[in-house]
Amino acid sequence: MKLTVKENTTEELEHIVTHSPNAKQRVEALLELSHRVALKDLLRSWLLAREAERDSEELEDNLLLAKANIYAGNALWKMGDYMAAQKHYMKAAELYESLNDHSGLGSAYMGLGIVHGSLKDFPQALEYFEKALAQSEISGNTVSAANAIGNIGSIHHHLENYSKAEAFFHKALEMHEQMNEKPGIANMLNGLAGVKVYNGKFDQAVDYLNRFMDIVTAIENNHGIATGLMNFGILHHKKGDYRKAIDFLEKALLHAESKKVRSVKFAVHKNMADVYTDMGKSDNALEHYKHYFAIEKEIKAKEIKEKAELFERMKNAASGNPARPQKM
């Protein structure tokens, strides 16, 4: 194994995972593999992170355990399992806080902000992103700070504060460009495209989306590719070109399904239903609304269950009674 796991080839990392007698070295290799495959294969990224999590617990290495929880959470939210992702981010936050690790705590808060944003709890998401920014700035993690600024912009976009959103996106884009940080550049281009679409500036939106797609295609970011295709569909919907909108949304759905990017699949169904509604094709719209609401119902059921269990644990802790084990 080279000096750091980042210096090893993927084949060398696979060999370490399979053959290394050094448990810590093996966990580090698992985490690096989880990170490397995350753009292409979310399911494998999650499985590798879960394996690293179990091994880190046995080692009682809280730093590795926190990182494993971040990686597991990242894969799960992209696959659409928001409540499971939230569990991992909360565990990571608890661990990083105990370690006084400001950079790690910023990552955990970022994940929690993304989860709450995905659940449309925008005030809570904004609070977490602001906490993530503060922790990132304390630690001097400029990439994380830029990501937090971009995510704050996304919340303002959802709240239809488009001028504020654009200002945050431009600030984050400038930071990412200074670092030549391609994933961050892509995300901000996508955010700016969204602002332009909702302001009716479609030519500028197309330019931003094309630049976004060039980057995510080059780095094989499947979540990004599905998102970009969907956003082209939204753009054509706003322009009133329903046939092109459906064409792009169908491509986005196919890509999201084939790559298990369930969080995008959820959004695509909603947008396809909206387009078919405007086209007056109620049967097609109903079919996509059914898929959208089925996924939403599943997510909400998990959210309610998790909150009930949390309140039960808080109640038991307050009364001094141990929490009852949950049935599998």
- Average pLDDT, whole number, for the chain? 90
One DSSP character per residue, 12-37 reads HHHHHHHH-S-HHHHHHHHHHHHHHH
Residue 202, helix vs strand vs coil: helix
**pLDDT tens for each residue of 129-149:** 999 999 999 999 999 999 999
Residue 262, helix vs strand vs coil: helix
Residue type, 108: A
- Nearest C-alpha neighbor of 34 from the set 21, 18, 47: 47
- What pTM value is reported for the model? 0.79
236 in any annotated domain: yes
Q: Residue 229 belongs to a domain with what CATH number? A: 1.25.40.10
Q: Which pLDDT value is given to residue 323?
A: 43
Query: Could you say which DSSP state residue 230 is in?
Result: H
45 in any annotated domain: no
Greater confidence (64 vs 309) lies with 64
Average pLDDT over residues 99-123: 96
pLDDT confidence band for 326 (50 / 70 / 90): very low
Q: Can you give the residue range of the structural domain that contains 280?
A: 221-293
Range of weakest confidence among 50-64, 234-248, 255-269, 305-319: 305-319
Residue 190, helix vs strand vs coil: helix
**pLDDT tens for each residue of 238-277:** 999 999 999 999 999 999 989 888 888 888 999 999 999 9
Q: Which pLDDT value is given to residue 324?
A: 39
pLDDT confidence band for 325 (50 / 70 / 90): very low
* Number of domains composing the chain: 1
191 in any annotated domain: no
320 in any annotated domain: no
Q: Which pLDDT value is given to residue 303?
A: 54
Average pLDDT over residues 80-86: 91
* pLDDT above 90: residue 295: no
194 in any annotated domain: no
239 in any annotated domain: yes
Average pLDDT over residues 73-84: 91
246 in any annotated domain: yes
129 in any annotated domain: no
* pLDDT above 80: residue 181: yes
